[in-house]
Amino acid sequence: MEKYIFYILSVIIIVFAVASVSSRKMLRSVIYLLFVLCGIAGIYFLIDYNFLAAIQLTVYAGGIIVLIIFSVLLVHHIEMELEMAKVSRKILTGLLCLLGLAVFLYTIYNNDFNVVENQVTTTTYDIGAKLLSYDAGGFILPFEVISLLLLASMIGAIVIAKGRKLNDKNNEAL
């Protein structure tokens, strides 16, 4: 049964991925993208990686897609359609896509995948312990680096959002 579910999910992902890049209505492409992301979450559920699936749903479907929809709502009117690209650009994009696909397929077919016999459900406890361990194979350093990066980007966002006020004060001081 799992095989059929995998095929159904794959068809959903591929069909909506193509629809997402070929639709000329902006919000529709976003929704097709949402279906692609939900399909990927479905595959994570299928391989029993529940935590990652829920992360996929929260961060991508619930967070990023909502933000994209939000920005589309702000800038886009319901009657607008995206312009068709020039023929030369279409050909160039097609060639680049084919190149990407070739690299991708080459890697897939030349890689020996390890087939795991006994699948184990990854628990939140394992993930947490691994994330904060400083032994070999622990992820404490990347974890800290990423938190620093997030802090920096948050401060940056606040500075940009408050920019004008700060500048006014600076000008007065000068």
Partner 1 sequence: MNISLNITETIQDWLMSMMPEGVASIAAMVSVALIYLIIFAVAGLYLVLLERKVAAWFQLRIGPNRVGYWGLLQTMADALKLVSKELTGTVKADKFLYNLAPYFVIISSLMALAVFPFTKEFQAFDINIGIFFLIAISSVGVIGILLAGWSSNNKFALIGAMRSGVQTISYELSVGLSLLTMVLLTGSLQLSEIVESQKEGWLILQGHVPAIIAFMVYMIAGTAETNRAPFDMVEAESELGAGFHTEYSGMKFAYFFLAEFINMFIIAAIATTVFFGAWLSPFGITESLPWLGVFWFLGKTIVLVFLMMWFRWTFPRLRVDQLLTLEWKYLLPINLVNIVIMAVMVWLNLTIKF
Pick the closer one to partner 1 by CB: 74 or 102. Answer: 74
Tokens of 124: 């939140």
Among 9, 33, 34, 36, binds partner 1 (CB under 8 A): 34
Q: Which stretch binds partner 1 (CB under 8 A): 26-34, 130-138, 141-149, 160-168?
A: 26-34
3-state secondary structure of 98: helix
Instruction: 60-67: list long-range contacts, CB under 8 Å, 24+ apart.
Output: 61/34, 61/37, 65/30, 65/33, 65/34, 65/37
Q: What is the DSSP string of 39-54?
A: HHHHHHHHTT-HHHHH
Q: Which is nearer to partner 1, 86 or 165 (CB)?
A: 165
* Cβ-based nearer residue to partner 1, 34 or 40: 34
Between residue 43 and residue 102, which ones bind partner 1 under the rule CB under 8 A? 45-46, 48, 50-51, 53-55, 57-58, 61-63, 65-67, 69-70, 72-73, 78-79
